[in-house]
Amino acid sequence: MKLRKVTAASAVVLALAVTATACGSDDKKDDSGSSGGKTIKIGIKYDQPGLGLKEPSGSFSGFDVDVATYVAKQLGYKPDQIQWVETKSADRENALARGDVKLIAATYSITDERKQKVDFAGPYLLAHQDLLLKKDSDISKATDLNGKKLCSVTGSTSAQNIHDTIAPKANLKEYSGYSECIAALQSGAVDAVTTDDSILAGFAAQDKYKDQFKLAGLKLSNENYGIGVKKGDTATVNKVNSALEKMVSDGSWQKAVDKNFGPARYKNEKAPKIGQLVK
């Protein structure tokens, strides 16, 4: 009788040990490598066609998505091991600091201010502030916006930069999102939309806007997009930079540019030198 009690107690201990082991395995699942179904969390935009877009089907598309997918593969993760996390501009630094994501590829311009809070790999694209216009527009330079209606999103510095320094008589129109600006441009409610040329090209490349718009090609600013990494994670920065270098050298980078921006006849800059501006 005593032997049976000891055996039962041992069984309970064994069951608890198995349960604890299983729980521990789940806790280490994310961001640990490519084997055993482990995943990596990558922050992207969900609402930028051509860059980071969540499709109605639930899949994801865009240049940032393609770059991040390639990088993840070089780090040992298959596409189905990537967990895409919507990361809005205002929360990018916090998302990395909290560990919500391992990487961020979300039109994340490298600036000195941001480098105080996060580390960057890249840059992987040089974009410029530009104007999107109707195909028959007679606007050819920023000063032509005086007396015209210029659209950008609420809180954006792009339109304000033009208004303050180039075209003070431009009539600023602010909407909550670029989709609304593009729709207003299509209807004639505004004469131009301004933000990064890569973002504008992504919207213009959509089938529903085919051959309706053009980029002015003004290069009003330089925006070097980098992949955000948690501050101090130098090992990951180095691995991502190596992946980006390979993407450029094997032609995958240019294929991704052509695929996502080509329909808008986006005249992209050549691939930036990986590692510059990030220290």
- Overall average pLDDT of the 116-133 stretch: 96
Rounded Cα distance, 278 and 113, in Å: 12
**211 has pLDDT over 90:** no
SS3 256: helix
Task: Give the helix, strand, coil percentages of the chain, each rounded to 5.
Answer: 40, 25, 35
Q: Across the strands, what pairs with 120?
A: 228
Rounded Cα distance, 273 and 69, in Å: 20
Q: Determine the distance from the C-alpha atom of residue 232 to the mean position of all C-alpha atoms in its chain, rounded to a whole number.
A: 21
Query: Structure tokens of 25?
Result: 């395995």
The H-assigned helical ranges of the chain are 2-27, 63-74, 92-98, 112-115, 157-165, 178-187, 197-204, 234-249, 252-261
pLDDT score, position 19: 41
C-alpha dihedral over 159, 165, 171, 177, to 10 degrees?
Answer: 0
pLDDT band of 267, cuts 50, 70, 90? confident
Mean pLDDT lowest among 189-203, 238-252, 259-273: 259-273
**204 has pLDDT over 90:** no
Rounded Cα distance, 145 and 150, in Å: 7
pLDDT band of 171, cuts 50, 70, 90? very high
pLDDT score, position 232: 96
Q: Going by C-beta distance under 8 Å and a sequence separation of 6 or more, which residues neighbour residue 245?
A: 274
Mean pLDDT lowest among 39-48, 137-146, 173-182, 220-229: 173-182
Mean pLDDT lowest among 104-108, 110-114, 157-161: 157-161
pLDDT band of 160, cuts 50, 70, 90? confident
* Cβ 233 vs Cβ 120: under 8 Å: no
Phi/psi of residue 193, nearest 5 degrees:
-125, 140
User: Which tens digit of pLDDT belongs to each residue from 70-100?
Assistant: 999 999 999 999 999 999 888 999 999 999 9
* Cβ 256 vs Cβ 69: under 8 Å: no
pLDDT band of 37, cuts 50, 70, 90? low
**278 has pLDDT over 90:** no
First to last CA, the chain: 71
Query: What percent of the chain clears pLDDT 90, i.e. is strictly above it?
Result: 67
pLDDT band of 198, cuts 50, 70, 90? very high
* Cβ 276 vs Cβ 245: under 8 Å: no
Rounded Cα distance, 206 and 22, in Å: 46
SS3 190: coil
* Cβ 187 vs Cβ 209: under 8 Å: no
Chain mean pLDDT for the chain = 86
- Determine the Cα angle at 144 with ends 138 and 150, to 5°: 95
**16 has pLDDT over 70:** no
Q: Across the strands, what pairs with 43?
A: 85, 104
Q: Which residue has the higher pLDDT, 159 or 254?
A: 254
Q: Across the strands, what pairs with 54?
A: 60
CB atoms within 10 A of CB 261: 25
Name which of 1, 270, 242, 267 is nearest 122 in CA terms.
242
Q: Which residue has the higher pLDDT, 279 or 103?
A: 103
Query: Pairing state of beta strands 40-44 and 82-86?
Result: parallel
pLDDT band of 151, cuts 50, 70, 90? very high
